Structure 1
Amino acid sequence: MTKRYLFSTAVGISMVYSLPAIAQDAPPQTTGPNIGLDDIVVTAQKRAENIQDVPIAVSAFSGDAIAQKSIGAIQGLSNLTPNVTLDAGSPFSGSSSVLTAYVRGIGQDDFAFNLDPGVGVYVDGIYLARTVGANTDLLDVERIEVLKGPQGTLFGRNSIGGAISIVTREPGEEFGGKAEITTGRFDRLDIRGTVDLPLIADKLLSTLTFSSTKRDGYVKRIPFPGTYVTDPLTSVPRSGTQTSDTEGGESQWTVRGKLLWKVSDSVKLTLSGDYQKGDQPGMASTLIKVLSNNGAPTFPGELFGSVYNLCINVPNALLPSAIGGNIQAMCGVRGTSGTSIGNANVDADPSNNRLTWNHQFITGDIDKSYATGPSFSRLQNWGLSGVLDADLTDNMSVKSITAYRKLNWAAGMDADGSPITIIEPGFTMHQQQFSEELQFSGKAFDNRLDYVFGFYYFRETGNLHDYVPFGQGLLQVDGFNTFKTRALAAFTHLNYRFSDQFSITLGGRYTDERKQFEGFQRDPNGFLYKLVLGKQLNEITEADRIALGFPDPTDPLRFYPTGLNKKKFTDFSPRVGLEFKPSDDVMLYASFSRGYKTGGWTTRLSNPETVAPDFDEETAKSWEGGIKSELFDRRVRLNVAGFYTEYNGIQLTQTNGISPTTKNAGNAEIYGAEAEFQAVLTDAVLLTGSLGYVHDRYVEKLPGTTAGDRLPKTPRWKVNISPKYTLDLEAKGQVIAMVDYTYTSSLFNNTENTVELKRKPVNMVNASLIYEEPGKSWSITIGGTNLANERYITTGQFQPGGGLIYGTYSRPREWYAKLGVSF
């Protein structure tokens, strides 16, 4: 199917569909009260406008709707948004604070510093550069806008798939506030509160908001039976040694403050600050399959699980030399632990026997694990910002957004689900960013032209340290990496109305970006020297280093090439669109847009390299056609869009041997459609729903890729139906009943399309019942999530080098009860 056919079909369907609406220029006769839908105001085009006038596919959620559905983090919007997948956590990150976001098949499923998001997340116009911490607490939110398709013109680099814009509430002009407390399954206890504090009436306003969330994990760690020897957690380099009795729990708090100064009728200044601190168990992990055996490695690329078994179960002196180098050296004293595992189970001394790595660690219960390794996620994330809004003339205004953010993060997980250290990844990240955006907007030519133009500066520095021990410390990945990015951009967005019916949109953004990176990844155990040369650490010579290709004369254990790596990227991302309004309630549009995401370097090495392996930028060209309409005296709102995308140079993380590496996997075409509707059926019943369809396929795979046939995190179908019933009890208050049902077809969680990690089709049901007293000064909510108890894999890794497949299952059925008060 060609893009021309698909695009014209989408527009054609929209025009046929619009005929009934065109015939309704005269309002229909009604006998009841006006119970039409309220306007939804968004800033998707950097100016406030009705969502029905925005020629972009946008899903918008008000703060009240988010609160009623008890959605606490961005991930919770996934079921309500067509062609969007939002997951808490990513493979081997060990932290639910990491956001994996995909829109229309485009996103990013890795948290590494060398990779940029494919879907940009913005809070009050400020870009969150890292996926770590992006699954942010939805605290005192006014609305959230999910923009689909490349948003490079107005939102910039790394919004190639789309953008998520979170807008927080401005301080109120009168004293007042809200507070709520929630309890639920797994000893849940959430506390939220916000208060408006006017300091000078109509002049200086402030608001302070606080949130605390806490609940136990849903995967329980249980002891593995028997007597055996294990190494202390301190025997290998780690990001931390904190453990937990459960996995998948939450414990964090957030505070945000805003100060609004109305300098004059035409100038206002908003100062904001937020601080988040989390110290909670690591992300839940379940061992799904073991690939290792007691003999030589047989699975392609599989190594450390089987080598560990060889070391402990076979007399080392009997092992053939064909296995490599000197097996006794491999199984002997390990670099940082100072102990040997060789002959552990065959030396006639049962007191030092070790467990064999095999399927015995699969518990048969996805909510139980034999893990004993680290389980923690510690996050400290804060920021300051200043937003200056000023009217320069009656037809022109300027906005300055200045922001600084800093993030400190550490996480550790036991991926193998056993008392053995087969693979237990851990990480630390320190990041800071500064940004300045200057926007000029206004009207010209007798208000026929709406324009926005501006400039953007961004600077980011930081480091990421990988700690990943394999095979009880046979390999100890110890990778410190430093990063620096500087980006400059200029942009414009114009909408010119030729008449009340026809208009054109033109936009473009030019970006100049510079990146720097230096990698220091090393192996303190010197596994390759033992494997190939049979040398212990104290026996390594300069000749050995040169023979095996290790690049650093000052550090014979360093894999990564020495020196500072630099890259420069330039890009122009245009947008062109046509809009036609046959009536006040119907708009048809067609558009073309382009987005891009910068390239970088692969940082995770387990073999020495002489040149830093890198990858190029990826690009997306997208054609979209759609219709936005309000029907039946604004009782029904129906928005439909069709799209076709050429997605080139796709950056995908794939496992090569033991190392998750990033490569340009190839090129793909993506096409599909989506529809969203709201219908006021009666004055008591509101029905909301959506339908999404995406078809993706590779048109070319580049050499060396292990990508499967489907793009990750991209279901073919998603259907949502959400009825809401309000029972008016008059002087006794009101009762609100809500149900959210979402069907999502199967998808693959990883690049390789590993069958064991495939997410099955899911039928998700959430429901709640709310009672509000007549003055709405207090309310009680009782609800449940995942009422059908659907258990599916949200993320995971195929790790042949370690000899296993592991993943994270979704949370089980949960209940909650909430008490809210307003004053």
Structure 2
Amino acid sequence: MKFQSFTRAVLMSGIALGSVTAIAAPVWAQDEAAAEEADASGEIIVTARRREESLIDVPISVTAISGDTLAAQGAVDITALQDKAPNMTLQIARGSNSTLIGFIRGVGQQDPLWGFEPGVGLYVDDVYVARPQGAVLDIFDVSRVEILRGPQGTLYGRNTIGGAVKYVTNRLGNEFSGKVRAAYGSYNQVDLVGQITIPLGDTFSIGGAVAWYQRDGFGENLNTGAEHYNKDVLAGRISAEFAPSDTVFIRVAADKIIDKSNPRHGTRLVGNGGVAAFEPTASVYDTRAGIGDDNKVETQGLSLTAEFGLSDTLTFKSISAYRDGHTDTVIDFDNTPGPVLDVPAFYDDRQFTQELQLLFDGDRFQGVAGLYYLDARASGAFDTVLGALNTTTLTSGTVKTKSYAAFADVSFDVTEQLKISGGLRYTKDDKTGTVFRRNYTGIRSPLFGNAAAVPGLIRTDYTNDRSFEKLTPRVSISYQPNEDANLYASYGKGFKSGGFDMRGDAVFTPTTVNGYEPETIDSYEVGFKGAFLDRKLFTNVALFKSKYKNQQVTIQVPNIVTGGIASFVDNAGRGDIWGAELELRAVPSPYFSMNAALGYTNADYKEFLTFIAGGTTPVDVADQRFFQNTPKWTASVSATASADLFGGTFSFTPAVSMRSDAYMFEIATPALDPDGYFLVDASAGWTSGNDKFKLSLNLRNLTNERYRVGGYNFPGALFGNSIIGFYGPPRTATVSLEYRF
């Protein structure tokens, strides 16, 4: 986005907010969840440090959003969070429907291939989700979502180098209750959601939630007639809670998601020789893909959480969990009826995690100490089919990970105003990688259905193992002159272990058998959190700077000499990231509220060493590389107004979010790199006086903006000049009715 366009977007958001202010005399913004988990005083309560505390008291950058707020504003899934939190990218991965891509302050992971670890961690009720497949969680049965920016690991779970997204579901309680919600919207969207809690005595409850989402495609496969960008998802959770006393809580929970939405093949952005089948389609949501329309993602999990109060100050907590998933998918990279550049694939993964915590909460000392264990296996395979050469390259492999960690984090109140805290984590990861890559003559390999394919050159065939360990600290100091202000400074070190490139080609890059190295980040932050005007205005301001070392970057480039695609995971060297964030929340009266966020990130490579350009000798190409998925500017603003109407409460919420220009990959690709854009949404709802009925209308992308969220770049005749893009949803409208009992 050019500066003038970005300025215009900011001004338009101000106009939108100003118009609401002008008409918002008798308004109230809060739902029963009290807006982002706010308490009676209007302050937000979070559990980012493993205990309930005011957001003002937390010396780290946290954004907290209640599930009711997300639902009221028509959030389809957790990717809507990128429109509300500064300096954040949270999107559906290119070519998929439920695979998550996450970046915070320039740190993340775009490549969702098995074996790669995310830079932004996702937690569902304190359970770390190791794989991005099936991680695009829909908004149902959720209490709140907390977004923690910067390295995490001294407080819980898996160490994550860029930040964490905590998805917290509702506890059952011991009262019979439930709700059903039905929605109908654009493109024949049908959503059916139901939740129920059944107490079986005073101490034991069972409950569950189920959600069914159906929607026609935004576009069409012009070759097969199938829906493109459609939705077909069934999800459910069931849990049982036992709380015999105030000091004991035990929960068993299970969840499952089945996503049978058609594959996303993208759309061609450039033509190839004037041939009609190779030209771009009229709609960015259409495709001419010929590989097929079968796609299925299935994930499930089981967890046991137990908390025991050992004394007034000590609590012991255990979190045991198992998750697995399977994906069958196809991607037509050329977007033509023929197998010019087709990739059928499957993924399998499973993980077991065990976490033990001891929490201490005294008058002046608070803290947590814990042990963490992860045993995971991620595997998969795919064919790279080049129809022009009648050849296929099969790639398959497995990564096994065992991770052991010990962590502790302690806070000490030096005085009532001055507080210090520090944490330390030790992590040891043992990884075993197996990679097999082979050429075949014929369309598809035997693994994907062509028994007649003629085997050729074995390009990669190895098994290797490596261990990585690191000690990572965190320290902070905060000064609170009063309960409504907090000045803080913090430092944290992040770590992500190395591994093995599942696409690695030992013919192109022989050093791939050695794997790639860990990456680290040193993150510094100073900030201010405060409440003003008798707690009617809340503000969070943060300045941050990070030193990124040995960043893991997946590079894929076409090789027109042999007709293959070279892949390598580079440890990029050094990068500097610095920026600022501003979050505002105003509640000037019980009739009006406003939220706004502004983020700026400047990310620059100081050294970028790559083997692709130099064979077996790394070459520094820092002046030709850019941070991906990291726009310099992000901004959002929303306001909610409500009034008494027809025996209930009517509310109206307009919202505007903006993102400036960004790079799709580390290498600038003008045909793919997304221009800046802004999205305008609006929601209106009516809630009955007894809170049993709720009728709402949600309008998203009112200006029908076409914005690119992913892409692939494989130019050249052998690849069908395959430059394709994936786009965010067009304008949609949804009407929903909810009944609570």
The TM-score, its normalising length taken from structure 1, stands at 0.79
1:143 aligns to what? 144
2:81 aligns to what? 77
Q: Report 1:95-110 matches (<5 A).
A: 95-110=96-111
Query: Equivalent of 2:426, from 482, 496, 510?
Result: 510
2:208 aligns to what? 208
Q: Is the 8 A contact 1:271 1:387 kept in 2?
A: yes
Q: Distance in 2 between matches of 1:628 and 1:163?
A: 20
What letter corresponds to residue 466 of structure 2 in structure 1? K
Which ranges in structure 1 are unaligned for 5 or more consecutive residues? Answer: 1-33, 224-242, 294-355, 528-535, 539-554
Q: Report 1:460-539 matches (<5 A).
A: 460-472=376-388, 474-525=390-441
1:413 aligns with 2:320: no
What letter corresponds to residue 228 of structure 2 in structure 1? E
Q: Secondary structure at the match of 2:270?
A: strand
CA change 1:474–1:614 in 2 (3 A) is farther
2:129 aligns to what? 128
1:742 aligns with 2:723: no
- Once superposed, what is the RMSD of the aligned Cα atoms? 2.1
1:472 deviation in Å?
4.6
1:158 deviation in Å?
5.1
1:639 aligns with 2:540: yes
Greater radius of gyration (CA): 1
Query: Equivalent of 1:457, from 373, 376, 381?
Result: 373
Query: Equivalent of 1:422, from 336, 340, 343?
Result: 340
Which ranges in structure 2 are unaligned for 5 or more consecutive residues? Answer: 1-37, 444-451, 559-564, 613-620
Q: Is the 8 A contact 1:561 1:610 kept in 2?
A: no
Q: Distance in 1 between matches of 2:198 and 2:177?
A: 7
Q: Is the 8 A contact 2:128 2:157 kept in 1?
A: no
Q: Is the 8 A contact 1:361 1:370 kept in 2?
A: no
1:440 aligns with 2:358: yes
Q: Is the 8 A contact 1:653 1:663 kept in 2?
A: yes
Query: Equivalent of 1:396, from 292, 310, 314?
Result: 314
- CA deviation map 1:228-254 (0-9, x unaligned): xxxxxxxxxxxxxxx761221110111
Q: Distance in 1 between matches of 2:265 and 2:182?
A: 25
Q: Secondary structure at the match of 1:411?
A: strand
Q: Secondary structure at the match of 1:757?
A: coil
What letter corresponds to residue 522 of structure 1 in structure 2? R
Residue range with higher mean Cα deviation, 481-490 or 172-181: 172-181
Q: Is the 8 A contact 1:158 1:598 kept in 2?
A: no
Q: Is the 8 A contact 1:709 1:753 kept in 2?
A: yes
Q: Distance in 2 between matches of 1:537 and 1:713?
A: 39
2:572 aligns to what? 665
1:192 deviation in Å?
0.7
2:18 aligns to what? none
1:682 deviation in Å?
2.9
Q: Is the 8 A contact 1:118 1:158 kept in 2?
A: no
Residue range with higher mean Cα deviation, 263-272 or 401-410: 263-272
2:459 aligns to what? 559
Q: Distance in 1 between matches of 2:250 and 2:225?
A: 45
Q: Distance in 2 between matches of 1:758 and 1:66?
A: 29
Query: Equivalent of 1:263, from 244, 250, 265?
Result: 244
CA change 1:792–1:616 in 2 (3 A) is same
CA change 1:424–1:516 in 2 (3 A) is same
What letter corresponds to residue 83 of structure 2 in structure 1? N
1:792 deviation in Å?
1.3
Residue range with higher mean Cα deviation, 478-487 or 619-628: 478-487
Query: Equivalent of 1:282, from 242, 257, 263?
Result: 263
The TM-score, its normalising length taken from structure 2, stands at 0.88
What letter corresponds to residue 277 of structure 1 in structure 2? I
What letter corresponds to residue 815 of structure 1 in structure 2? A
CA change 1:464–1:650 in 2 (3 A) is same
Query: Equivalent of 1:247, from 213, 222, 228?
Result: 228
Residue range with higher mean Cα deviation, 575-584 or 371-380: 371-380
2:694 aligns to what? 779
1:443 deviation in Å?
2.9
Q: Secondary structure at the match of 1:748?
A: coil
Q: Secondary structure at the match of 1:186?
A: helix
1:371 aligns to what? 289
2:528 aligns to what? 627
Q: Distance in 2 between matches of 1:118 and 1:44?
A: 18
Q: Is the 8 A contact 1:601 1:615 kept in 2?
A: yes
Q: Secondary structure at the match of 2:166?
A: strand
Q: Distance in 1 between matches of 2:161 and 2:376?
A: 19
Q: Secondary structure at the match of 1:78?
A: helix
1:757 deviation in Å?
1.1
1:569 aligns with 2:496: no
Q: Distance in 1 between matches of 2:206 and 2:650?
A: 32
Q: Is the 8 A contact 1:37 1:636 kept in 2?
A: no
Q: Is the 8 A contact 1:288 1:806 kept in 2?
A: yes
1:430 deviation in Å?
1.1
CA change 1:797–1:35 in 2 (3 A) is closer
What letter corresponds to residue 51 of structure 2 in structure 1? R
What letter corresponds to residue 794 of structure 1 in structure 2? V
1:603 deviation in Å?
2.0
What letter corresponds to residue 134 of structure 1 in structure 2? A
Q: Distance in 1 between matches of 2:574 and 2:251?
A: 44
CA change 1:277–1:565 in 2 (3 A) is same
Q: Secondary structure at the match of 2:437?
A: coil
1:359 deviation in Å?
8.0
1:613 deviation in Å?
5.1
Q: Distance in 1 between matches of 2:182 and 2:341?
A: 39
Q: Is the 8 A contact 1:559 1:605 kept in 2?
A: no
Residue range with higher mean Cα deviation, 564-573 or 468-477: 468-477
What letter corresponds to residue 689 of structure 2 in structure 1? P
What letter corresponds to residue 675 of structure 2 in structure 1? K
Q: Is the 8 A contact 1:244 1:376 kept in 2?
A: no
CA change 1:698–1:460 in 2 (3 A) is same
1:768 aligns to what? 683
Q: Distance in 2 between matches of 1:728 and 1:656?
A: 60
1:759 aligns to what? 674
Q: Distance in 1 between matches of 2:89 and 2:226?
A: 30
1:653 aligns to what? 554
CA change 1:511–1:524 in 2 (3 A) is same
What letter corresponds to residue 608 of structure 2 in structure 1? K
1:137 deviation in Å?
2.0
Q: Distance in 2 between matches of 1:405 and 1:244?
A: 36
Residue range with higher mean Cα deviation, 804-813 or 603-612: 603-612
Task: Give aligned pairs, total.
Answer: 676
Q: Is the 8 A contact 2:153 2:407 kept in 1?
A: no
- CA deviation map 1:530-549 (0-9, x unaligned): xxxxxx987xxxxxxxxxxx
1:358 deviation in Å?
8.1
Q: Distance in 2 between matches of 1:244 and 1:593?
A: 52
What letter corresponds to residue 368 of structure 2 in structure 1? V
Q: Is the 8 A contact 1:750 1:757 kept in 2?
A: no
